[in-house]
Amino acid sequence: MSGRKNCCLAKKALCSANGLAWAFRNEKAFRNETAALLFALALAIYMGAAAASVLRVFLACLLPMITELVNTAAEAALDLLAGPIYREEVKAAKDMLSAAVLLSLIVGYGYSLLVIFF
């Protein structure tokens, strides 16, 4: 594992691309958030937003996607650590991860709507 820590930037970028591709293939929420990003960008362009505003919409829409990636990775780690046995602490952790995704959706898309329409 220590070999990966000091590997070149190209290999790290490939690992990141693999993570994005895995999330897109396996996580419906990530696909939905990708579609929402594309829709928000199209809407901003259609509404005649300036290039800087379109960039703000893009960056704001990345927030839910980033949070979804963290949520997915953390849930996978929790499942591996906890195993098949139900634990209230694991449920609470997953609920908090879900709440983080919800808040990021509100902030990211709410800000995007403000940029587009106001």
Domain count, the chain: 1
pTM of the shown model:
0.89
Options 27, 33, 68, 89, the catalytic residue? 68
Checking if the pLDDT of 5 tops 90, the result is no
Query: Residue 77 sits in a domain of what CATH number?
Result: 1.10.287.3610
Answer whether residue 19 is part of any domain. Answer: no
| Domain limits for position 41 | 28-117
Answer whether residue 53 is part of any domain. Answer: yes
Mean pLDDT to the nearest integer, 67-96: 95
Q: What are the distances in angstroms from CA 112 to CA 2, 83, 106?
A: 40, 39, 10
Cβ atoms of residues 71 and 105 within 8 Å? no
**Percent of the chain topping pLDDT 70:** 95
Gap between the Cα atoms of 108 and 94, Å rounded? 21
Cβ atoms of residues 76 and 22 within 8 Å? no
Answer whether residue 2 is part of any domain. Answer: no
Answer whether residue 87 is part of any domain. Answer: yes
Gap between the Cα atoms of 78 and 80, Å rounded? 5
Answer whether residue 99 is part of any domain. Answer: yes
Of the pLDDT bands very low, low, confident and very high (cuts 50, 70, 90), residue 4 is low
Answer whether residue 44 is part of any domain. Answer: yes
Residue 68: active-site member: yes
Answer whether residue 64 is part of any domain. Answer: yes
Q: What is the pLDDT of residues 14-67, one digit of tens each?
A: 999 999 999 999 999 999 999 999 999 999 999 999 999 999 999 999 999 999
Checking if the pLDDT of 117 tops 60, the result is yes
| Mean pLDDT rounded to a whole number for the chain | 95
Cβ atoms of residues 104 and 81 within 8 Å? no
Answer whether residue 59 is part of any domain. Answer: yes
Q: What are the distances in angstroms from CA 38 to CA 27, 54, 93, 97?
A: 17, 11, 30, 24
Measure the CA angle with vertex 109, ends 61 and 53; round to 5°.
65
